[in-house]
Amino acid sequence: MIDLFTPYQLKDLALKNRVVMSPMCQYSVEAKDGIPNDWHTLHYTSRAVGGTGLIIVEMTNVEPDGRISDYCLGLWSDEHTSAFKEIVDNAHKHGAKVGIQIAHAGRKAEDAKVPVAPSAIAFDETFKTPRALSTEEVEEMVEKYRLAARRAVEAGVDTIELHGAHGYLIHQFHSPLSNKRTDKYGQDLTRFGVEVIQAVKSEMPKEMPLLMRISGTEFVDGGYGMKEAIDFSKAYQEAGVDMFDVSAGGEGPITPHGRPGTHGGYQVPYARQLKEALDVPVMAVGRLDAPALANNVIGTEDADLIAIGRGLLRNPYWALEAAKQLKKDMDVPVQYKAGF
């Protein structure tokens, strides 16, 4: 029987348990230079001390105008690499593995003067209307993802996650709602994502797995559903994605009938369906912070890993607490043994 604290191995990524820190923007780069600071180092190191198996560092962008805000992280120059290395080294010292979520916000880059996107369509009336990237600029964008991946590898990460969900750039390309292009990147909606995957993989050691976060469904009128998500994920799997992190939504304002449930594990069915359809490892996310529920999702093999978001904002020691509640063995830092 496997449970939340059974070790997990995917290629060279060896995790001591199945608890993953979900990527969560901190909006805390006061210098606006995209470089992680003290806050980020403490924030991520404390989750490593708290027993998290894999930490996925928040959305980290491939160019300055690819950030949601000027306070978000980036990996667009070699200057960034050493600050990320400090985070990775610290987390390793305390037993966690680390990935970085590489991204571009596209039309959802709120502080960019003129955001860029597949097509000149605004997210809604509160967002700026983006400029459509030229074909050559899309090709250059693929290169920016590649260079960001190279820097992540140089910083010592154990894996990379591509952000293909929540209405950010890769999602904008594969969604028919936001990609109305007529060039090669519009004729095949997965082409941009596929090229990014191949470029990023070319920078990663062969046995380092590539993760990709996708939205399994769009909660929007006319948006895609699980059937289409399985189709585009198949193309991404063939291009080199080793595991999908299955979330949902983000490509438009939620329409009332499309509103997701708010119950525990509300996105697990998307992860399970993708796993079954493509025979691919998956990570489930979304209101899984009740340890018994997270343990159940692993035990029933609906997902291979569990990403915890807000639960880990509330409690950096979520994994240690969960092990205690579930009566599982776990190495507690010697300094904290009395507390457990």
Ligand X SMILES: Cc1cc2nc3c(=O)[nH]c(=O)nc-3n(C[C@H](O)[C@H](O)[C@H](O)COP(=O)(O)O)c2cc1C
> Which residue lies nearer to ligand X by CB, 101 or 178?
101
CB of 187 to ligand X, least distance (A): 28
Query: What count of residues does the chain have?
Result: 340
> Which residue lies nearer to ligand X by CB, 117 or 312?
312
Question: In this structure, how many other beta carbons lie within 10 angstroms of the beta carbon of residue 266?
Answer: 14
Residue 8 bears catalytic tag: no
> Which residue lies nearer to ligand X by CB, 181 or 318?
318
Which H or E element spans position 323?
helix 318-325
Of 168, 185, 224, 236, catalytic = 168
Neighbouring-strand partners of residue 160: 100, 210
- The token duo for 95 is 């037993």
CB of 134 to ligand X, least distance (A): 27
The closest of 127, 257, 255, 239 to 191, measured between CA atoms, is 239
Q: In angstroms, rounded to a whole number, what is the distance separating the alpha carbons of residues 305 and 31?
A: 35
CB of 41 to ligand X, least distance (A): 17
CB of 296 to ligand X, least distance (A): 15
Q: How far is CA 294 from CA 70, 162, 259, 307, in A?
A: 34, 23, 23, 9
Q: Are 172 and 178 in contact (CB under 8 A)?
A: yes
Q: Are 284 and 248 in contact (CB under 8 A)?
A: no
Question: In this structure, how many other beta carbons lie within 10 angstroms of the beta carbon of residue 329?
Answer: 7
> Which residue lies nearer to ligand X by CB, 178 or 247?
247
CA atoms lying within 13 Å on the CB side of residue 280: 27
Q: Which residue has the tokens 């470089």?
A: 35
CB of 250 to ligand X, least distance (A): 9
Of 40, 80, 104, 166, catalytic = 166
Neighbouring-strand partners of residue 161: 101, 211
> Which residue lies nearer to ligand X by CB, 34 or 286?
286
Q: Are 299 and 328 in contact (CB under 8 A)?
A: no
CB of 311 to ligand X, least distance (A): 6
Number of H helices, E strands in the chain: 11, 13
CB of 142 to ligand X, least distance (A): 20
Residue 266 bears catalytic tag: no
> Which residue lies nearer to ligand X by CB, 95 or 309?
309
Residue 163 bears catalytic tag: yes
> Which residue lies nearer to ligand X by CB, 23 or 130?
23
Q: Residue number with the shortest CB distance to ligand X?
A: 309
Binding residues for ligand X, per CB under 6 A?
22-25, 58-59, 101, 163, 165-166, 213, 247, 285-289, 308-311
Of 43, 80, 163, 174, catalytic = 163
Q: In angstroms, rounded to a whole number, what is the distance separating the alpha carbons of residues 191 and 281?
A: 23
Q: Which residues are catalytic?
A: 163, 166, 168
